[in-house]
Amino acid sequence: QPTAAFRGLLAPPGGCLPHRSSSPSRRRNGDASDWERGGGRGGRARGGSNGAGRWRLRGSVGAARGALREAGGVRPLPESRVLRTVPLLAACLPGDKCKVLIGRRFGEDRYPELAAVCRNSSTLILYPGAEAANLEDVALIFPSPSTIIIIDGTWSQAKDIFYKNSLFRLPKQVQLKTSISSQYVIRTQPTNTCLSTLECAAIALAIMEKNDGIRETILRPLQALCSFQLQHGAQIHHSKEHLLKNGLYDKPMPKNKRKLRRMELLVNNVKI
C-alpha cells in the first residue's frame, strides 16, 4: 500500500498525455458524467450499455481502490470524452489524495494551495524534457515525496500549460525512462512508448513506493475498459509511429510543414 501522498495536475481535455485531440464532433459525443453515474466514475462508457460489462468495470475499480489507500491528483477544463483515463485514476485513489484542478492557467492568487504545493521541496512534476531527471534515480533521493504533479491533455495542451504557468517551474522535473508499450489500445498514440495519464501515474507510484503491485492494481480498470470496448466493436489502434513505419498510415499527409516534419521525425526514430 503506497504511503506517499500522490497528487496529479491533470490539465486540459485529452485524457491521455500523449494523445492528439479529436475532432469537435467526436468530443461532443461523450459525457464525463457517464463515468460518474452508477459507480464512482466506474460506470459505463456511452455506446456500451451492457450490464455485465458495466459491472466488470466497476469491480475492477473497486479492487484498485481497496488496494490503494494513499495517493492523489488535480484536473483541467471540463472534459467530455468517455475514453479518458483520468476518471479511472480518480476512482482508484482516495478522494483526499487525488486532487484534480481544471483549467489552463494556474496563478498563485487564484490557486494558493497549489502554489504552496509547488514550493514544497518534496514535490515533483512529471513532464518529459532535457532538464527532467529519471524518476527512478530521484526515488533514491526522495524516498517519500508528498506530491507528484501530472499534466493531462494532448501534447500541445500539456506543453502550453507547463511553459505558461510559472508555478510548474518550481517543483523538481522528472520523467519516466521506460520502454513499456501502452495498454491503452483503443486510442492512437504518437509513438510506441507514449503512455496514458493513468499509466504514467501507475508507473510513477510503483517506482516511488518500490512496489510493482501498485501498477498492476491501478491498470486493471484500464484493461477492463479496453476489453469491454473491444468486445463491443472498438478496434485496436497502433501508434502513429508504427503506422508510418509500416506504410499503414491511410490519412492524408498534413500540408503544414511543421506537422509534416514531426511525422518525418517519427519515422526516423528521432525523439520529439
pLDDT of residue 270: 47
Confidence of residue 164 (pLDDT cuts 50, 70, 90): very high
Q: List CB contacts of 12: < 8 A, sequence separation 6 or more.
A: 76, 77, 79, 103, 104, 152, 153, 154, 157, 161
pLDDT tens-digit map of 77-134: 434 445 577 788 888 888 888 888 889 999 999 999 999 999 998 899 999 888 999 9
C-alpha of 101 from chain center: 14
Count of domains for the chain: 2
Q: Which residues form the domain of 271?
A: 238-272
Give CA–CA dist 203/208, Å, rounded.
Answer: 9
pLDDT of residue 242: 58
| 182 and 242 housed in the same domain | no
Find the range with the poorest average confidence among 51-55, 60-64, 149-153, 183-187.
51-55
pLDDT surpasses 80 at 224: yes
pLDDT tens-digit map of 204-213: 989 988 888 9
Give CA–CA dist 143/6, Å, rounded.
Answer: 13
**75 in a structural domain:** yes
| 50 and 121 housed in the same domain | yes
| 134 and 38 housed in the same domain | yes
pLDDT of residue 238: 67
| 142 and 242 housed in the same domain | no
Grid coordinates standing for 18?
Answer: 500523449
In the beta sheet, which residues pair with residue 175?
134
Average pLDDT, the chain: 69
pLDDT surpasses 90 at 169: yes
Find, among 153, 130, 151, 148, the residue nearest to 138 by Cα: 148
Please say whether the beta carbons of 71 and 146 come within 8 A. no
| 128 and 256 housed in the same domain | no
Q: pTM here?
A: 0.62
